[in-house]
Copies of this chain bind each other. A is one copy, B any other.
């Protein structure tokens, strides 16, 4: 082996986590794959949870730093003017796709991350929230400024939907395989496809949300947008 034990463990863990999930991956699987002794994980990281946190934080801080840097650059160029929604979407989701495309390890990690957004484990959620706090705040502000006509609640949902689409885009494989054979090998094409979809969804006509108290229970659903369908 070329690298040191610590690095080999990190790589093996990342790989096995995405294959089998966090819980189902045992320390014995990791240390075997890393050609290390079982005790090495506890020696180098302290515990399995600490290893998981290290695996995530290592790449996630880098990812979100990239996002913030991209936003900084856009806002510097705009000199106070609102950004175009497309620019913001591209910088937020583009960074993720590019990480997935950059290296086998990056792709593995993005698949892992996509799966872990919905991870119920408490300690994972807590450091995930911590890692995302700043970047979410920055992008929310940028979007609100760029889309002053879109109600904030509506936008938050759309952002949420977009994150779901991204998650499936990078982690997809399994669910996608249900649909039939598709080509997942070209990240540039995936990027282009996802952007089209996201922008289309983000800029879709605003639905008329009736207040829950007023609406009649079994009323036929109104379809106010895009009458041409």
How does the 8 Å CB contact mask read for A159-201 relative to B, with 1 for contact and 0 for none? 1111111111101101111111011011011111111111111
Is A132 interfacial (CB 8 A cutoff)? yes
**Residue in B closest to A24 when the chains form the complex, CB atoms:** B23
Q: Please, what's the 1-or-0 string for A71-96, where 1 marks a CB less than 8 Å from any CB in chain B?
A: 00000000000001110000000000
Q: Which residues of B contact A162 (CB under 8 A)?
A: 165
Surface stretch bound by B, among A3-11, A40-48, A113-121: A113-121
A205 near B200 with CB under 8 A, answer yes
A193 to B, closest residue via Cβ? B157
**B20, B158, B175, B226: the one within 8 Å of A117 (CB):** B175
- Asked whether any CB of chain B lies closer than 8 Å to the CB of A27, the reply is no
Selected from B20, B85, B193, the residue in CB contact (under 8 A) with A229 is B85
* Interface SS majority for chain A: helix
Residues A168 and B175 in contact, CB atoms below 8 Å apart? no
Question: Judging by beta carbons under 8 Å apart, are A225 and B201 in contact?
Answer: no
Q: Is A140 an interface residue (CB 8 A)?
A: yes
**Which residues of B sit under 8 angstroms from A69, Cβ to Cβ?**
none
A1-59: which residues lie under 8 A (CB-CB) from chain B? 18-21, 23-24
For A194, the chain B residues whose CB sits under 8 A away are 157, 161
Add 7 more A-B contacts to A186-B212, A195-B207, A199-B229 (CB < 8 A).
A19-B120, A129-B178, A160-B176, A191-B221, A192-B207, A192-B208, A203-B229
